[in-house]
Amino acid sequence: MVVSDFAVEAKNLEKKFGAFTAVNRINFQVKKGEIFGFLGPNGAGKSTTIRMLCGILSPTSGEGHVGGFDITNEQNRIKEHIGYMSQKFSFYSDLTVEENIDFYSGVYNVPDRKERIEYILEKARMKDYRNMLTRNLSGGWKQRLALICAILHKPRIIFLDEPTSGVDPITRNTFWGIIKDLASRGITVFVTTHYMDEAENCDRMALIYKGNIIAMGTPTEMKTKFMKSDVLDISVPDSEDWLDKLSALSSVKETALFGTGIHATTLDSKEAIHAIEKLFKEKDVKDYSVKKIDPSLEDVFVALIEDYDREHGG
């Protein structure tokens, strides 16, 4: 065990599957008691990284420590001190909610099991579901049950792999309320997600893409340090039909659908607004609006990924 001020550390961490590099010599540190977001599109390397840190996968090369324990030589010690919620729901469908929780409390050797189960059911607002068969739960309630079982033994570090994937917005908000409560009590939360709006809830974050960390910082730092372009919010009928036409303008760098509208990045917003309005007038479009806005984290991530692909021939 290594004494460290950090809950999680990775140094030149790499994982290869044959000739394919899933995680490419990444470096980062997670402070104790912070919510650290590990963000990126599907297939970016998020789950592979989290599985290495949890002692489930062995790295091809590099180093890592979780709670001071080495991820290569002390996997069992790591598993004793962390909570882990995977993407795939893995409980006994023929048991009730309470029976599943009781089973996992036994696996983790939780002291005062009955009191702990009552507390956790109350905290997660699942007391009314305690006698329901797990297979009858909705996706959101199954995810909530998975989170309950990950924190039963009061771990100091929790890894959540896509905890809100496939659940409704209300459930997502509830999840993040629980995550913030855990962090307020000094628990380190390492969370992966591809929902970029959720990143605003993190203290710090890293953006991983094609196995590489391409940016890291606080939400504010990500929007001020890494965003070198102005962002325009464009409302126009049949917005999807306008993506290529707007991208073709010399003053526009990239365009992307954002809700029912379009976000466009440009180095000169005034020039771009003039060119866009001119195009709409030429095409006799009347019901439109174009305005400069502050970039969202999604805008930042789209721009960073586009820049990475441009620089690396992606």
Can you list the domains of the chain with their CATH numbers? 6-223 (3.40.50.300), 228-294 (3.30.70.920)
Q: What does the pLDDT read at residue 155?
A: 94
Task: State the average pLDDT for the chain.
Answer: 91
- Give the distance, in angstroms, between the CA of residue 172 and the centroid of all CA atoms in the same chain: 12
State the alpha helices, DSSP H only, in the chain: 46-53, 75-81, 97-107, 113-123, 139-150, 169-184, 219-225, 243-247, 269-282, 297-312
Angle at 153 between CA 204 and CA 48, to 5 degrees: 45
User: Residues 208, 40: contact at Cβ < 8 Å?
Assistant: yes
Helix (H) or strand (E) holding 16: strand 6-17
Whether the per-residue pLDDT at 73 is higher than 80: the answer is yes
pLDDT confidence of residue 109: 86
Percent of the chain at pLDDT exceeding 70: 98
pTM: predicted TM-score of the whole model, two decimal places: 0.88
Q: Please, which pLDDT band fits residue 91 given cuts at 50, 70 and 90?
A: confident
pLDDT over 90 (residue 1): no
Q: CB 307: neighbour CB atoms within 10 A?
A: 18
Identify the burial level of 128 via C-beta atoms within 10 angstroms of its C-beta, where 0-12 means exposed, 13-18 middle and 19 or more buried.
exposed
pLDDT mean over 282-302: 93
What is the C-alpha separation between 255 and 52, in angstroms, rounded?
Answer: 36
Determine the Cα–Cα distance for residues 204 and 183; give it in Å rounded to an integer.
13
The reported pLDDT for the residue numbered 241 is 95
Average pLDDT estimate for 11-22: 97
